[in-house]
Structure 1
Amino acid sequence: MPYVEAAVRRQQLVAAARGALTRDGVAGTSLRAVAAEAGVPLGTMQYVFPSKELLLRAVIEDVVDEIADVLKGTAELEKGLEHAIRQGLSSFWSQLVADRRNLQIMQYELTTYALRTPGQEHLARWQYERYAGIVAEWCEQAADNAGETCAVSFAQLGRIVVAGIDGLIIQHVCDPDDARSGEDLDATISMLIALAGVRAVGTG
């Protein structure tokens, strides 16, 4: 087998794991199954990821990084907080939710698996801390860039954004309806903007 750099091999295995998890679910995905998906010996798989838990964490990290890239790449942070919320969440939905139902199911299954596996509960907590932290970061950057303030802390805004979008995703996954989900997304964005109470620095 030709030599592959460790970082490249790791990413190949994570991509294979995402494919297997999306198709077979957490319970049906083993290190052996991922190795077969990636076309590598089981020993190579176990060298990079000695346990299923380490592999699942890497998958969660990869999904979180994908979300971060979408938000940072489309939120247009130079145009202020309101625009960033509206543009960022609309782009997130169109790129990672509307036509990627299996991705969302996999994410929820990973969260449930972590919560139900003794000693792995921290993975679920870390996952949602990262989601909220990413949103809080780009909201704060957008506000700072435009000289704006937010009526609530950015940490709280991030948590509530995640909570609101999470609920919409679950409903969409259970009963896909693009028109209804689009209307509900617009309403949720309006509520989040109202919560943020965006003002220019120095105004009342």
Structure 2
Amino acid sequence: MADKKLTRDSIAAAALDLLNEQGLDQLSLRKLAARLDVKAPSLYWHVADKNALLALLAESVFVDCLARIPPGEHWHDWLRAFGRGLWRAQKDMRDAGRLILMTAQDEAVLVRMEHAVLAPLTALGLSAPQALSMQASVQAFVTGWTSFAQGPNTAYLQAHISIDTAFAQGLDALLRGFDHTIDPEN
């Protein structure tokens, strides 16, 4: 029987703490079980292996980001809030870019994420293909900047520019560029 104090949320939160303390390469189910004060087999009721743990962690960060987006009157507002929220979450998470780029999600999770993105953006007037394309572009932009900002040349980059300012300016430019791609007939 699964340990009653374990939930997917508590596992994801403890995994995020471990990731931030020790890094992606040191994150393990054994260490996570010790952190949660349970035996490793108890975790297997919730996560089958390390990839499942990493997928849960990535999903948790994404879902939390979506939950924090305030209602807006325009799709620009939603995408800007999404981009900035994802930037904060990834920037504050050690090895975020690597986690995102190396973790495969189950199709059911991807479908849930897709619906979570489509609902607000289509309600704000975008078609489903426009919404998905724009959200994916923002997400790729954020993950690229995260990888860049957490990479081996971070100190040099920080000495020459404000990474946060450059990110925000780039996000705004990307959003303005979307205006030129929208076909009013679709």
So what's the TM-score if we normalise by structure 2? 0.70
Question: Are 1:110 and 2:99 an aligned pair?
Answer: yes
Mapped partners of 2:77, 2:101: distance in 1:
33
- Show the counterpart of 1:96: 89
Aligned pairs (5 A) from 1:52-131: 52-70=50-68, 72=69, 74=70, 76-77=71-72, 79-93=73-87, 95-97=88-90, 100=92, 103=93, 105-114=94-103, 122-123=104-105
The verdict on how the C-alpha distance between 1:39 and 1:26 changes in structure 2, with shifts beyond 3 A counting, is same
Identify the residue that residue 117 of structure 1 maps to in structure 2: none
Q: Structure 1 residues 139 and 40 mapped into 2: Cα distance closer, same or farther (>3 Å)?
A: same
**Structure 2 matches for 1:14-25, cutoff 5 A?**
14-25=12-23
Aligned CA distance change for structure 1 residues 16 and 187 (closer, same or farther; 3 Å):
closer
Identity, % of aligned positions: 15
| Match of residue 170 from structure 1 | 147
1:11 partnered with 2:16? no
Structure 1 contact 21–29 (Cα < 8 Å) conserved: yes
Partner Cα separation in structure 1 for residue 106 and residue 149 of structure 2 = 21
Alignment gaps of 5+ in structure 1: 115-121
Q: CA deviation at 1:135?
A: 4.8
Which structure: larger Rg? 1
Q: Is the 8 Å Cα contact of residues 60 and 127 (structure 1) preserved in structure 2?
A: no
1:182 lines up with 2:176 in the alignment: no
Aligned length: 177
In the TM superposition, residue 157 of structure 1 has moved relative to its aligned partner by: 1.4
SS in 1 for 2:24: coil
User: Comparing both structures, which one devotes a greater share of its residues to helix?
Assistant: 1
SS in 2 for 1:27: helix
- Residues in 2 aligned to 1:192 and 1:124: alpha-carbon distance in whole angstroms: 29
- Code of the aligned partner of 2:47: F
Aligned Cα root-mean-square deviation (Å): 3.7
Matched, 1:194 2:177: yes
Q: Distance in 2 between the 1:133 and 1:53 partners? A: 23
